[in-house]
A and B are shown apart, each in its own frame.
Chain A
Amino acid sequence: MIVLVLLLVLPLLALALPGSPALMRVAGVTLLWWYAAVAAPLTAAISVVVARAVR
């Protein structure tokens, strides 16, 4: 649960960083969008599967 909460609030922290690293583009898409649409949901999904398996 803590991992998921961290994944949720991480972009808020990243957007406050100087130089806007979240807006760097990879394959035409910003890092923030890669994170929000792909990386974070995938990490969250793996975390949930692992957490349920451990229980």
Chain B
Amino acid sequence: MTGLGTLAVWPGPALLAWVVAAVAAGAPVAPLLVLAVALAPLLALLQPARATAPRHPVTLALVAIVAALVLSAHLAALADAAALIGARRWHAIVLAAALTLLVTLMPGARRWPGVAPLIGGAALLGVLLAAAVSTGLAPWAAWADAAARPALVFSGQSPWVIEGERFVRRTTLAFDDGQRVVAVAPGTFRVVEHDGGRRVVRDWRLGAGDALTLRPGDTLTVEAGSRLRFEPGKRVPGAPASGPAWGDAAPDASPVRSLALLATLALGACALVPAPARRVIAAVFIALGLSLGASSWGAYATLAAPEAGLAGSPIEALLSLPRAMPATARGVTGGALIAVVMCGLLALFVAAAEGLRHALRDAAGTRWPAVWTAVMGGASVVSIISVVDPLTPLMTGLGLAGAALAAPRLAAGRDAGRRLGWPVEVIGAVLGAAVFAAVAVANPPAALESLAAFPVLVAAPVAFGGVRLLRAARGDARSRAR
């Protein structure tokens, strides 16, 4: 497998959308996220090479669960994108899953493992270049311009102001200044007012065209599918207070959460990205492109459409940039650029799925076509039935992969042997997965909430330590036998 194909498992639509959305929103964790997403696959490339992973039903089950979680995260991101452009969620899911199964099960297609990531990368890079040409600004100049704004407000040309936009999922908006919002479609809206320290909850049923006036400090909860119109020149709810606050991003990030994020991404990459045999240079350029591309996209998106995160899905940040761009001199319209972005995301999904298929093939052996089809089918059905934030299955999948696959593998080394009839690495995988599940469903006290949000922080050290202990015990037994 080439370096390009190896790393293609990493920058899927959900991960890419998450990074761009974090940059565009000025999230406290955004700089660390960009750093971790770029460095994690490079860290995985330097993993100690090993002969073969022990093939075992437990390993196969864990790889299948991880693959299903990561696939459903990417499918949820594609479904959100479809909903934002006015299509049905299930159309995008069925199209992406069918295309991917066709590509991954077709013997001839596997001869060109680098084609899908190349198409995806080129499509998104093209839109980024169009943004640079359209604004006439280099990425760092766009960044400086966005960071110099006194406030992040709705522009008069924003689709949220002109015809109103749709919320992809239930969202709560916090208003820093007074604003009059108009319901474009009938719906129920919950307003929480803070009247002299007293919390007042009011539910409003609005018809199309009805308005709601919100005061500074109010929150508005909007159901999925609702459409609202905002006032031009008013602050974007939930956005940073000003351009400088957006540009600074990091000071409020909690150290434990930051560390947990780094651990989840680094170990998740170590589990999914195998050390490649060749073309490391290509892989290195992908990682660099990811950090520079995502940061630049976020800066242009903030400059052109500071309301990029309003709809409740991270994918909106990717789509807001082509939407907000004026038609260029060559006549490329926003609609055409949105189509290019959608094609790029679809290609990145196929590429990520191909990488996951390789991991599954290594675990399943000759049965892989049946297992792979079942995993893709299961992920598609789950994504159609449940409308979840793509981040939830993505972080669960990467965390589980880190705790149950990467940590035991790194601890086992080349030859950890067997205990109780099972390979030591598999025992570590069971331990990691069990602790991960227990911590994830536990209801810890407030001081330990970060651990429940990122169970990999507990599960990975337990799995690693367990395997090391079993290895040491095996070494002692061998010494005594001599």
Q: Which residues of A are at the interface with B, using a C-beta cutoff of 8 A? A: 1, 4-5, 7-9, 11-12, 15-16, 20, 22-23, 25, 27-30, 32-33, 35-38, 40-42, 44-45, 47-49, 51-52
Q: Is B249 an interface residue, CB under 8 A from the partner? A: yes
User: Is B249 within 8 A of A33, CB to CB?
Assistant: yes
Contacting residue for A45 out of B34, B36, B284, CB 8 A: B284
Count chain B residues whose beta carbon lies closer than 8 angstroms to a beta carbon of A. 40
- Are B140 and A44 interface neighbours, CB within 8 A? no
Say yes or no: A38-B43 contact (C-beta < 8 A), given A12-B258, A27-B140: no
Cα of A53 to Cα of B284 in the assembled complex, Å: 13
Complex A-B: 9 CB contacts under 8 Å: A8-B43, A8-B262, A28-B141, A29-B140, A29-B143, A30-B247, A37-B292, A48-B45, A49-B280
Report the bound CA distance from A41 to B280 in whole Å. 15
Q: How far is the CA of A15 from the CA of B31 in the complex (A)?
A: 11
Which chain A residues lie closer than 8 Å to B281 at the CB level?
Answer: 49
Known: A28-B143, A29-B143, A47-B42. 9 other contacts (CB 8 A): A12-B259, A20-B251, A22-B250, A33-B249, A36-B31, A37-B292, A40-B38, A40-B39, A44-B39
User: Once the chains bind, are B143 and A11 in contact (CB under 8 Å)?
Assistant: no
* Residue contact A48 to B46, C-beta cutoff 8 Å: yes
Cβ of B144 within 8 Å of any chain A Cβ, yes or no, is yes
Q: Are A27 and B144 in contact (CB under 8 A)?
A: yes
A47 to B288 CA separation, bound complex (whole angstroms): 13
A12 touches B255 (CB 8 A): yes
Chain B residues, CB < 8 A from A12: 32, 255, 258-259, 262
Q: Which of B39, B140, B141, B251 contacts A4 (CB 8 A)?
A: B39
Closest chain B residue to A52, Cβ basis:
B280
Nearest chain A CB to B328 CB, angstrom units: 25
Chain A residues whose CB sits within 8 angstroms of the CB of B255 once the complex forms: 12, 15-16
Chain B positions 258-298 with a Cβ under 8 Å from a chain A Cβ: 258-259, 262, 266, 280-281, 283-285, 287-288, 291-292, 295
B288 touches A45 (CB 8 A): yes
Let me know if B148 is at the binding interface, CB within 8 A.
Answer: yes
B291 touches A29 (CB 8 A): no
Query: Would you give the shortest CB distance from A11 to chain B, in whole angstroms?
Result: 6
CB closest chain-B residue, reference A5: B43
**Which of chain A's residues have a CB closer than 8 A to the CB of B291?**
36-38, 41
Contact assessment for A45 and B32 in the assembled complex, using a CB-CB cutoff below 8 Å: no
Contact yes or no, A41 B292, CB < 8 A: yes
Q: Contact between B143 and A44 (Cβ–Cβ < 8 Å)?
A: no
Residue ID in chain A nearest B258 by CB atoms: A12
Contact of B42 among A25, A29, A35, A44 (CB under 8 A): A44
Closest approach, in angstroms, between the C-beta of A36 and any C-beta of chain B?
4
When each residue 211-255 of chain B gets 1 if its CB lies under 8 Å from chain A and 0 otherwise, what string results?
Answer: 000000000000000000000000000000000000111110101
The docked-state distance in angstroms from the alpha carbon of A49 to that of B282 is: 10
